[in-house]
Amino acid sequence: MIEEDHLIKTTGWTKEVLRGMETSFLMSTILRIGSLMKVGFGSAGVEIIRNNLQKGQNKTMLILTAQGSTVSCIFLFCDIRQFTDATECLQEEVFVFTNRIAAVVHSICHSYGGAANKNIGDAFL
């Protein structure tokens, strides 16, 4: 929002006027797309995109022809056994149950220097 303050000072426009402009809507949309990309690509993907942007001119351009890098990693996929049966028994407490298991999975991954990338219902990657 530093840019918004700069525009207010240089143009004399109010915040209400700036928020009604198409550039404000575009900026909001771009930020939302960035958030979706963060969710879709995970933390590793965010780092790749960030590094790619930093190599671009003025840090505002993606270099789509840049050579990739090799990353050594280990993938773990786990699934809660008999989750359907558990949901029938636990009913509305199923979220508490799933979140507790997620906390264990995330803490173990983090303790080994990793990160749980995706939680999809009863499955974790």
Per-residue pLDDT of the chain (125 residues; tens, 9 = 90+): 566 677 677 777 777 776 777 777 787 788 788 788 777 777 777 777 777 777 766 666 666 676 767 777 788 888 888 888 888 998 889 889 988 988 898 898 889 888 887 788 788 88
Mark 7-33 as b/e (b = at least 16 C-beta within 10 Å).
beeeeeeeeeebeeeeeeeeeeeeeee
Against a cut of 0.75, is the pTM above it?
no
Find the farthest-apart pair of alpha carbons in the chain and give their distance in angstroms, rounded. Answer: 63
- Residue 124 in contact with residue 118, Cβ under 8 Å? yes
- Reported as type and span, the H/E element at residue 38 is helix 22-55
- Residue 122 in contact with residue 81, Cβ under 8 Å? no
